[in-house]
Amino acid sequence: MLLDIRNLVVELPVGRELRRIVADVSLGIREGESLALVGESGSGKSMTTKAITRTLPDGAQVSGEVLFDGKLVGAMSKRELETYRREQIGLIYQDPRAHINPVRRIEDFLLEGLLLFDRRPRAELRRVISDLLAEVGIADPDRCLKSYPHQLSGGMLQRVAIAAALSTEPRLLLADEPTTALDVTTQAEVAQLLKQLQARRGLAVLFITHDLDLAAQICDRTAVMYAGRIVEMQPSRTLYASPAHPYTRGLLQSRPSVDRRYERLPTLPGSPTPAYEAPAGCPFAPRCADRMPVCSTYVPHLTRHGLAELACHLGAGAPGGN
């Protein structure tokens, strides 16, 4: 397993109290595999990625383990951590404009990190980044290298950010809502690009999104988060066709579709709950049409039922849970 997260719990200080943001997350990604982590805002997915890079806010309390290639990230020395972040992980963010220096040309942005540790001459590194820009679909890499960020569209800038993430040849790509800030057409192009790069380079990818359709298009497997926990994990193909958890089913049913006609689009009642406000028992119980007395008492843990891993007391009795 390249990335192995075991029973991760993250709490953040707010005033004098500690608020639980991630309640219990366990997942693994093998070399060359892609996993989508899907959840609404506040479900804990971004804090899970920060735990992977050990970039949680000051004062965060963490328990559980994050292992990369068998090595405990929490036990890495400062130097090991720098090498791990720089060479093993490529990060792609939601809004590239917030992460690319607006007053420097694209060439300087792409070279500045590489020049710190890559001893090859600048001209050679320039060829490397020019080839990378071509690989991510920039039609005129030389012109792009001479441009400032404000001269590029959002889609082109996200391609530049993807090139930057790939420039150190990482083994794991962490993509945090990389298409959310883009228009629908560009979103589809960038999603397709990520899928192609993952297959061509044999990359492991953790794709963070709130969009189940996008997750199914891009990733081999999908994990659904609710209130700081993974409630369902399946191959994307089967999750999409036969979701097992009532929350996943609700999410899929409440998407508009061009193939169906509605009197009224189905919705999930209530609103999402952060982990620190979750009730006793199953955190989804107040919104669940299938809840049973046991649901208000015992937290359901992720257990395997055929191809699906499911945190629900319905277990194998859930649709798609066999």
Residues binding ligand SF4 (CB under 6 A):
246, 282, 284-285, 288, 290-292, 295, 300, 312-314
How far apart (Å, rounded) are the C-alpha atoms in residues 235 and 19? 32
Instruction: Tell me how far CA of residue 214 lies from CA of 217, 255, 258, in angstroms.
Output: 5, 12, 16
What's 171's DSSP letter? S
- The residue count of the chain comes to 322
Residue 35's nearest CA partner among 277, 208, 281 is 208
Both tokens assigned to 109: 């942005």
Both tokens assigned to 261: 């006609």
Most distant pair of Cα atoms in the chain: their distance: 68
Instruction: State the DSSP string of 88-108.
Output: IEEEE-S-GGGTS-TTS-HHH
- Residues 6+ positions from 253 with CB-CB distance below 8 Å: 266
Contact 212, 252 (CB under 8 A): yes
How far apart (Å, rounded) are the C-alpha atoms in residues 282 and 247? 11
- Which sign, positive or negative, has the C-alpha torsion 242, 248, 249, 254? negative
- 3-class secondary-structure state, position 67: strand
Instruction: State the DSSP string of 107-151.
Output: HHHHHHHHHHH--S-HHHHHHHHHHHHHHTT-S-HHHHHHS-GGG
Radius of gyration of the chain (CA): 21
Q: Which residue has the tokens 């015992």?
A: 298
Residue 151's nearest CA partner among 109, 189, 201 is 109
| Closer residue to ligand SF4 (CB): 95 or 290 | 290
